[in-house]
Chain A
C-alpha cells in the first residue's frame, strides 16, 4: 500500500479542522456545542499525530492518537456529567450563566 499523500496537505487539514473547532468554541454559548467543538479539536490533534507518525514511519504517532482517544472518552463522560449537573442547577445550557466570579 503505497501512496504519495502530501504530508503538508494532511497537516493543513489537521490545522483547518482544529481552527474550525476553535472558532466553534469561541462563538458558541451552548455548553454541549462547546464540548462537541473540543472533540473536533482533539480529533484534529490526533490527525496531526497520525501524520507525523506516518511521515517518520514510527508507531509513536498512533500511540499518541490512542492516548488522545482514551482521554477524549474520559473527558466526554465527565464533561457530560458536568453538563447534566449544570443543567439541573441552572436550568440552562448557557455557559455565560455560570459566571459567578464576574470581575
Chain B
C-alpha cells in the first residue's frame, strides 16, 4: 500500500510532462484524456489508500523515493509522509481537482492552447500534492514554489492581455515575498534542529524550546509569513482578487480549493511550533479575524462575480486562520474541506454563467438566470447557502459554527475574536445572497446562448451534494454528536475542549450564529430584491460612496503597496539603468584621456611645446630635488 504513495503526485507530473512534450501534436480529446486521466487515476489511488488507511488506521504511511541530496548531515529526501492531515488534503485535492479538470474539458473546449492548459493544471495538482505529502520542509518548499509557478502560468494563461500578465506576476511575486520569510524560517529550523524533517522537528521542538521562547516565536512568525503569502491573508492578500484574471477552472482549482489553503496546511502541519509560541498563534488568529472582516467588506462592494468569490475566499480562509489561531486545529481543517467543496462549486457555477453569457462577468449585466439555467441556479444556491452557513441543512453551518464556538469557548478563545467571526458571518450572508439575488433574480439583461452541457453540470451536482452532506461527518455534541472527522485527525492534531461554563450554553451561541447568518440573508433580500430604493438612498450618501470606493479597491492596499514598494523600486531601477558605478570607471577613463590630450600637446610638432615640456620637466626635477 505504502509503495503506491509516490504515484499520487507522480501521475499528474507525468501527465504534465507528456502534455508539454507532445502537446502540439495531440488531439484535444487525447490531451483531455491525459490531463483528466492522470488526476483521475491519482484520485483512485488516493481512494484506495484512503480505504486502507481508514480500515487499518496506521499512524502514517511513509515512502522514501530517493535521497535528494546530502551535505554535512543535511539529508533531505524525496520522501512522502501520509497521515490523516495529509490524507484530508490529498483527498480534496485529487477529487475536487478531478472534478474541476473534468469541467475544464468543456469550459476550455474552444481554447487553442488546450494542452498547455492541462499541462499547467496537472503540474499544479502535482506540486500541490507534493506540498501536502512532503515529509520534510524542503520538499514541501518545492511543492510550495511549484504551486506558485503554476499559479503564475495559469493566471497569465491568456497572456496576450498585458493585464493578465501583470496579475500573474503580481501573484508570483507577492507569494514569493511570503516564501522568502518561510525560507528564512527554514534556515533557522535547520540551524536549531539540524534537519528539516517535519516529524523530527515536531517531536524535538518541545524539548528544545520552552513555551513562549523567543526563537519559537520568530520561527513561527516566519512560517506564518509564508502562510499568509500563499493563503492571501493580510498583509499579502492583494494578489488574490487580481488572480481572477485566469480562466474560471483555474480560479476554482487554485484560488478556492487548493493552493490558497497551503498556508492553512503549513500552520496545521507545524502546529507544535505555533503551540510553543502563543504570541505567534494569537497573531494567526488576529490575522485571520482582521482578514475575514476586511475581505468581507470588500466583497460587499464588488460587481465582478469572480471578484466577489475571490474576496469571499480570502474571508473564509481568514476563518480557517482564526480557527488555527485559537487552537481549534481540526475545526480549521474541517472548514477547509467544506470550503473546498462549496467554493469550487460556486466558482464552477460562476464559470458556467460566464461561459453562457459570453464571458460577461459583471453582475450588473446579469439577472433572471434562475429560469434559463435551473441546474446552475440550484447548485449555486446550495453553494451560496453553504457559504452563508445557513443553519442545519448546509455543511458550511457545521464547520463555521464549530470555528465560532471554539473561538469563544476554546482555551485560546476571546470575545473580540468571536465578535469578529460573528460579524464576518453576518457580512458573508449579505454578500453571498447579494450575489445570488443580483445574478439569478430580477430581469434578464444579457442574452443566454446555450445551456451548459453534461460535463459542466455533473461536477456541479456532485459538488453540491458534497456541500450539503459533507457537514454531517462532524456534528456538534449537543446535536447528533458525530465526530468522525476530528477522530480521524486526532492522532495528528491535538483536540480541543471547550470551557465548562460556556459549554452548558452551547445551544445559545449556535442559535446566535444561525440568527446572524439568517439576518444577513434577510438584509440582502431587503436591499437587493424587496426594495432596491433603500439601496439607492444609501448610495446617495457621500460617506457611503467613499466607503464603497475604498472597499471596492480592497481597502487601498494596492495603492499603498504601489507607492510604498513598487514605484520606488521601479524608480530606483530606472534612474540607475546606466549603472552609476560604471560612471566611476568611465570617469577614470576620461581622466586618462584628459592626460593623453594634455601630454600629446608636447609632441605635436610645434617646437616650442617640446621646449616647454623640457622646461616643465626641468622645473619638476629641480623642485623635487630641492624639496627632498
A/B: CB atoms within 8 Å of each other? yes
Question: Which residues of A approach B to under 8 Å, CB–CB?
Answer: 22, 25-29, 34, 95-96, 98-103
Answer whether residue B608 sits at the interface, using C-beta atoms and an 8 A cutoff: yes
Across the interface, which residues of A come within 8 angstroms of B601, CB to CB?
Answer: 103
Across the interface, which residues of A come within 8 angstroms of B611, CB to CB?
Answer: 22, 25-26
Q: What's the Cα separation between A99 and B603 when bound, in Å?
A: 9
A-B contact count (CB 8 A): 34
The distance from the CB of A27 to the nearest CB of chain B, in whole angstroms, is 8
Across the interface, which residues of B come within 8 angstroms of A28, CB to CB?
Answer: 608
Across the interface, which residues of A come within 8 angstroms of B71, CB to CB?
Answer: none
Q: Per a CB cutoff under 8 Å, which of A22, A27, A95, A102 touches B604?
A: A102
Across the interface, which residues of B come within 8 angstroms of A101, CB to CB?
Answer: 603-605
> Is chain B's interface secondary structure helix, strand, loop, or mixed overall?
helix
Q: What's the Cα separation between A89 and B600 when bound, in Å?
A: 26
Please determine whether B607 and A34 come into contact, CB atoms closer than 8 angstroms: yes
Q: Per a CB cutoff under 8 Å, which of B600, B603, B605, B615 touches A26?
A: B615
Q: What's the Cα separation between A70 and B329 when bound, in Å?
A: 114
Q: What's the Cα separation between A102 and B609 when bound, in Å?
A: 11
Across the interface, which residues of B come within 8 angstroms of A98, CB to CB?
Answer: 605, 607
Answer whether residue B1 sits at the interface, using C-beta atoms and an 8 A cutoff: no
The distance from the CB of A78 to the nearest CB of chain B, in whole angstroms, is 16
Query: Do A103 and B607 form a contact, CB below 8 Å, given A22-B615, A26-B615?
Result: no
5 closest A-B pairs by CB: A99-B605, A103-B600, A103-B604, A101-B605, A95-B607
Q: What's the Cα separation between A26 and B613 when bound, in Å?
A: 10
Please determine whether A95 and B606 come into contact, CB atoms closer than 8 angstroms: yes
Across the interface, which residues of A come within 8 angstroms of B608, CB to CB?
Answer: 25-29, 95-96
A–B complex contacts, Cβ < 8 Å, 27 sampled:
A22-B611, A22-B615, A25-B611, A26-B608, A26-B611, A26-B612, A26-B615, A27-B608, A28-B608, A29-B608, A34-B607, A95-B606, A95-B607, A96-B606, A96-B607, A96-B608, A98-B605, A99-B604, A99-B605, A99-B606, A100-B605, A101-B603, A101-B605, A102-B604, A103-B601, A103-B604, A103-B605
Across the interface, which residues of A come within 8 angstroms of B604, CB to CB?
Answer: 99, 101-103
Please determine whether B605 and A102 come into contact, CB atoms closer than 8 angstroms: yes
Q: What's the Cα separation between A27 and B606 when bound, in Å?
A: 12
Q: What's the Cα separation between A34 and B605 when bound, in Å?
A: 15
Nearest to B597 among chain A residues (CB) is A103
Contacts A96-B607, A98-B605, A103-B604 known; 5 new A-B pairs at CB < 8 A? A22-B611, A26-B611, A26-B615, A103-B600, A103-B601
The distance from the CB of B606 to the nearest CB of chain A, in whole angstroms, is 5
Across the interface, which residues of A come within 8 angstroms of B605, CB to CB?
Answer: 98-103
The distance from the CB of B501 to the nearest CB of chain A, in whole angstroms, is 100
The distance from the CB of A54 to the nearest CB of chain B, in whole angstroms, is 25
The distance from the CB of B605 to the nearest CB of chain A, in whole angstroms, is 3
Q: What's the Cα separation between A29 and B529 when bound, in Å?
A: 105
Across the interface, which residues of A come within 8 angstroms of B615, CB to CB?
Answer: 22, 26
Across the interface, which residues of A come within 8 angstroms of B612, CB to CB?
Answer: 26
The distance from the CB of B354 to the nearest CB of chain A, in whole angstroms, is 76
Across the interface, which residues of B come within 8 angstroms of A22, CB to CB?
Answer: 611, 615
Across the interface, which residues of A come within 8 angstroms of B600, CB to CB?
Answer: 103
Q: What's the Cα separation between A100 and B601 when bound, in Å?
A: 13
Across the interface, which residues of B come within 8 angstroms of A25, CB to CB?
Answer: 608, 611
Q: What's the Cα separation between A103 and B603 when bound, in Å?
A: 7
Q: What's the Cα separation between A90 and B367 when bound, in Å?
A: 101
Instruction: For chain B, residues 594 to 627, give those with C-beta under 8 angstroms from any C-beta of chain A.
Output: 600-601, 603-608, 611-612, 615
Nearest to B607 among chain A residues (CB) is A95
Across the interface, which residues of A come within 8 angstroms of B603, CB to CB?
Answer: 101, 103
The distance from the CB of B279 to the nearest CB of chain A, in whole angstroms, is 75
The distance from the CB of A60 to the nearest CB of chain B, in whole angstroms, is 24
Q: What's the Cα separation between A96 and B601 when bound, in Å?
A: 13
Instruction: Give per-residue flags for B360-394: 1 if the beta carbon is below 8 A from chain A beta carbons, else 0.
Output: 00000000000000000000000000000000000
The distance from the CB of B406 to the nearest CB of chain A, in whole angstroms, is 89
The distance from the CB of A93 to the nearest CB of chain B, in whole angstroms, is 12
Q: What's the Cα separation between A34 and B611 when bound, in Å?
A: 11
Q: What's the Cα separation between A25 and B615 when bound, in Å?
A: 11
Q: What's the Cα separation between A26 and B601 when bound, in Å?
A: 14
The distance from the CB of A38 to the nearest CB of chain B, in whole angstroms, is 10
Q: What's the Cα separation between A10 and B604 when bound, in Å?
A: 38
Q: What's the Cα separation between A81 and B604 when bound, in Å?
A: 24
The distance from the CB of A24 to the nearest CB of chain B, in whole angstroms, is 10
Q: What's the Cα separation between A98 and B571 when bound, in Å?
A: 56
Across the interface, which residues of B come within 8 angstroms of A96, CB to CB?
Answer: 606-608
Chain B CB within 10 Å, residue with most, of A100, A101, A102, A103: A103
Q: What's the Cα separation between A98 and B610 when bound, in Å?
A: 13
The distance from the CB of B250 to the nearest CB of chain A, in whole angstroms, is 69
Q: What's the Cα separation between A93 and B58 when bound, in Å?
A: 112
The distance from the CB of A40 to the nearest CB of chain B, in whole angstroms, is 14
The distance from the CB of A18 to the nearest CB of chain B, in whole angstroms, is 11
Nearest to A28 among chain B residues (CB) is B608
Q: What's the Cα separation between A26 and B618 when bound, in Å?
A: 14
Q: What's the Cα separation between A101 and B602 when bound, in Å?
A: 11
Q: What's the Cα separation between A33 and B279 when bound, in Å?
A: 96
Chain B CB within 10 Å, residue with most, of A28, A34, A96: A96
Q: What's the Cα separation between A99 and B602 when bound, in Å?
A: 11
The distance from the CB of A87 to the nearest CB of chain B, in whole angstroms, is 15
Q: What's the Cα separation between A40 and B373 when bound, in Å?
A: 117
Across the interface, which residues of B come within 8 angstroms of A29, CB to CB?
Answer: 608
The distance from the CB of A30 to the nearest CB of chain B, in whole angstroms, is 11
Chain A CB within 10 Å, residue with most, of B600, B608, B612: B608
The distance from the CB of A64 to the nearest CB of chain B, in whole angstroms, is 20
The distance from the CB of B116 to the nearest CB of chain A, in whole angstroms, is 64
Across the interface, which residues of B come within 8 angstroms of A27, CB to CB?
Answer: 608
Nearest to A27 among chain B residues (CB) is B608
The distance from the CB of B95 to the nearest CB of chain A, in whole angstroms, is 84
The distance from the CB of B150 to the nearest CB of chain A, in whole angstroms, is 65
The distance from the CB of B619 to the nearest CB of chain A, in whole angstroms, is 11
Q: What's the Cα separation between A98 and B604 when bound, in Å?
A: 10
The distance from the CB of B73 to the nearest CB of chain A, in whole angstroms, is 68
Nearest to A100 among chain B residues (CB) is B605
Across the interface, which residues of B come within 8 angstroms of A100, CB to CB?
Answer: 605
The distance from the CB of A5 to the nearest CB of chain B, in whole angstroms, is 26
Nearest to B618 among chain A residues (CB) is A22
The distance from the CB of A16 to the nearest CB of chain B, in whole angstroms, is 16
The distance from the CB of B238 to the nearest CB of chain A, in whole angstroms, is 63
Q: What's the Cα separation between A95 and B604 when bound, in Å?
A: 12
Chain A CB within 10 Å, residue with most, of B600, B604, B607: B607
